[in-house]
């Protein structure tokens, strides 16, 4: 769907073109004094008319711009979300063209579309690099799309643009939980490695195999710091991937100071939308700040007869949960007609139970319950809300996008999970029975997992393809740019990526544009869990790519700046 600012720009361009045509239609010189006098008079009239037209156009532009929603730092504004929801039956013209040109019902069609999208990006970036507009200049500054820059003069003296690349391999580093309370998320690493096995089997990246060096940080930030140091100092990797908000926040200053790519981290913290201060780091999923606004928008649209409502949030007590809490707190503050009171209740990330926290929430008689947590706490929340009797009193209950995998976080609750809602971030569940029957990429994922002795009914394996797919596409693009695969070409590719990501629902764009658009995903599904089919039933898909403002994260002063 198109945002109104795109329509405005097209209208202004059209009007400007008309003004050029009008200016080109002026008369020539005439030696006759009378004719000259008449021409002068006509010129004055034309000038007056043009001034009036310009004033009218300015008034119209101002009026239209006044209706244009403003960007929200780190996520989407309420106005943008409402506008997108109202336009849910429209599709972006480019997306429709792609769907008509490529057959996404077959894996060959998906690969064909991917090749086409890469070729378009490679052609555009190559032209910019060859013209001197993009790439590393004599001043050692990397320049890219929409004002994106990295000053390589600030990199360490021993920094290498081709670190981790040999004649036959590309070494990437990864750290995430393989043990501890969030160990299930670590299964994504195995799915990613399986996808890399496929990529290597069909030629790798420019004839090189991609290999991953991985460490278990158990979702402990101190461990993440230790292992990132190991990956830099001893493993000499090309790039590093991290999982988890506290963990990524603990190392992203270091990785940016070391000039090491850290793209597509598996966390939706809004801090990854910071291309100016942290240009080497990007996210890969929906921003938690955006998700918070989308919760509020659903409440406004679907509980209109009950407004304003009391909303309770079960919040993981760390940087991850804080991003959710600050996002919804701001929404509640800005929309008192929707949320009369927001009751945040935090829980210890390592706590084995959350009974006391749900008891506290129940005592506040909320109308809406939102889990702002992750891992097993999502399942416990569903079970405890039912056991306490709170579910029967609620008008709505949400589980977070990071707990979308039914087999892990909701199906074990049985009928207690029925009817729970989610702002799902548009990610397909690779264990969904409907998708297993009808989706070519999901079928490819599951066949690949089975061939590598991994259980395809563990959704976290599938999430490895969600991370690995754009990573590989960016590597492939970078390898074809002038100068070949380098860290700087990789970041140019990452910051200019614009692809159909087949593990996201059709209609959701995966794209960034330098400093102008730092969030690759700004679309989502609104879904409700059906326990009888053990799947999410999608009610709405929206996409507002490019509408989120950048976020310079400032934890001590309330979040994004």
Q: pLDDT class for 71, splitting at 50, 70, 90?
A: low
Q: What is the 3-state secondary structure (H, E, C) of 349-413?
A: CCCCCCHHHHHHHHHCCCCEEEEECCCHHHHHHHHHHHHCCCHHHCCEEECCHHHCCHHHHCHHH
Residue span(s) of the chain under CATH 3.40.50.2300 come to: 109-285+439-507, 289-423
Query: Are 391 and 297 within 8 A, CB to CB?
Result: no
Which pLDDT value is given to residue 558?
67
pLDDT of residue 555: 76
Taking the CB of residue 28, how many other CB atoms lie within 10 A of it?
5
Q: Which residues pair with 239 in a beta bridge?
A: 172
The pLDDT of residue 425 is above 70: yes
pLDDT at residue 447 tops 80: yes
Q: Which CATH number applies to 109-285+439-507? A: 3.40.50.2300
Specify the higher pLDDT residue, 31 or 515.
515
Instruction: Give residue 10's pLDDT band: very low, low, confident or very high (50, 70, 90).
Output: very low
pLDDT in tens, 164-182: 999 999 999 999 999 998 9
Query: Residues 20, 25, 28, 33: is their CA dihedral positive or negative?
Result: negative
Classify 227 as helix, strand or coil: helix
pLDDT given at position 61 = 43
| pLDDT at position 260 over 70 | yes
Pick the more confident residue, 554 or 106: 106
pLDDT at 73: 73
Can you give the pLDDT at residue 315?
A: 98
Q: What is the CATH number of domain 289-423?
A: 3.40.50.2300
pLDDT category, 33, cuts 50, 70, 90?
very low
pLDDT digits (tens, 9 = 90+) for 357-372: 999 999 999 999 999 9
CA distance 431 to 409: 13
Residues 6+ away with beta carbon under 8 Å from 77: 69, 70, 71, 293, 547
Residues in CB range of 343: below 8 A, 6 or more apart: 310, 311, 312, 313, 361, 364, 366
Whole-number average pLDDT of the chain: 87
**276, 209 contact by CB (below 8 A):** no
Q: Cα separation of 322 and 320, whole Å?
A: 5
Cα separations (Å) of 502 from 351, 447, 560? 36, 15, 30
Question: What letter would DSSP give residue 208?
Answer: B
344 pLDDT higher than 90: yes
For 150-166, the pLDDT digits (tens) are 999 999 999 999 999 99
């Amino acid at each position: 769907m198109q945002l109104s600012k795109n329509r405005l720009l097209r209208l202004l361009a059209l009007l400007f073109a008309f003004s050029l045509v009008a200016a080109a239609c002026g008369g020539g010189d005439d030696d006759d004094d009378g004719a000259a006098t008449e021409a002068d008079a006509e010129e004055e009239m034309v000038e007056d008319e043009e001034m009036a037209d310009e004033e009218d156009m300015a008034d119209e532009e101002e009026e239209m711009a006044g209706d244009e929603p403003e960007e929200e730092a780190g996520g989407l504004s309420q106005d943008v979300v409402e506008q997108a929801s109202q336009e849910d039956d429209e599709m972006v013209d480019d997306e429709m063209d792609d769907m008509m040109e490529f057959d996404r019902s077959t894996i060959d069609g998906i690969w064909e579309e991917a090749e086409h999208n890469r070729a378009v990006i490679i052609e555009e970036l190559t032209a910019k690099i060859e013209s001197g507009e993009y790439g590393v200049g004599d001043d050692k500054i990397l320049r890219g799309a929409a004002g994106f820059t990295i000053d390589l003069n600030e990199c360490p003296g021993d920094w290498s643009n081709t670190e981790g690349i040999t004649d036959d391999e590309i070494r990437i580093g990864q750290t995430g939980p393989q043990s501890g309370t969030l160990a299930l998320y670590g299964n994504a690493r195995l799915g990613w490695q399986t996808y890399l096995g496929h990529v290597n089997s069909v030629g790798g990246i420019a004839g090189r195999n991609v290999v991953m060096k991985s460490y278990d940080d158990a979702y402990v930030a101190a461990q993440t710091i230790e292992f990132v140091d190991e990956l830099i100092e001893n493993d000499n990797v090309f790039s590093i991937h991290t999982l988890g908000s506290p963990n990524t926040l603990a190392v992203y200053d270091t990785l940016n100071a070391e000039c090491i790519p850290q793209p597509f981290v598996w966390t939706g913290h809004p801090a990854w939308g910071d291309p100016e201060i942290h240009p080497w780091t990007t996210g890969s999923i929906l921003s938690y700040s955006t998700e918070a606004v989308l919760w509020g928008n659903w409440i406004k649209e679907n509980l209109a007869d009950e407004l304003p409502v009391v909303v309770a949030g079960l919040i993981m007590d760390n940087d991850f949960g804080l991003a959710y809490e600050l996002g919804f707190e701001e929404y509640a503050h800005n929309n008192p007609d929707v949320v009369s009171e927001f009751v945040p209740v935090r829980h210890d990330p390592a706590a084995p139970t959350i009974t006391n926290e749900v008891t506290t929430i129940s005592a506040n008689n909320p109308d809406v319950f939102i889990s702002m947590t992750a891992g097993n706490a999502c399942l416990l929340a569903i079970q405890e809300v039912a056991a306490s009797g709170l579910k029967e009193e609620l008008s709505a209950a949400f589980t977070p996008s990071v707990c979308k995998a039914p087999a892990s976080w909701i199906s074990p609750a049985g009928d207690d999970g029925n009817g729970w809602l989610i702002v799902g971030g548009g990610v397909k569940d690779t264990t969904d029975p409907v998708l297993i029957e009808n989706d070519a990429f999901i079928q490819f994922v599951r066949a690949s997992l089975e061939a590598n002795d991994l259980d395809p009914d563990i959704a976290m394996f599938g999430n490895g393809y969600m991370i690995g797919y754009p990573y590989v596409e960016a590597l492939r693009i970078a390898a074809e740019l002038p100068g070949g695969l380098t860290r700087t070409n990789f970041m140019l590719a990452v910051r200019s990526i614009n692809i159909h990501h087949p593990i996201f629902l059709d209609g959701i764009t995966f794209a960034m544009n330098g400093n102008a658009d730092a969030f690759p995903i700004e679309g989502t599904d609104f879904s409700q869990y059906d326990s009888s089919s053990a799947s999410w039933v999608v009610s709405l898909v929206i996409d507002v790519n490019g509408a989120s403002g950048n976020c310079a994260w400032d934890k001590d002063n309330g979040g994004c700046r």
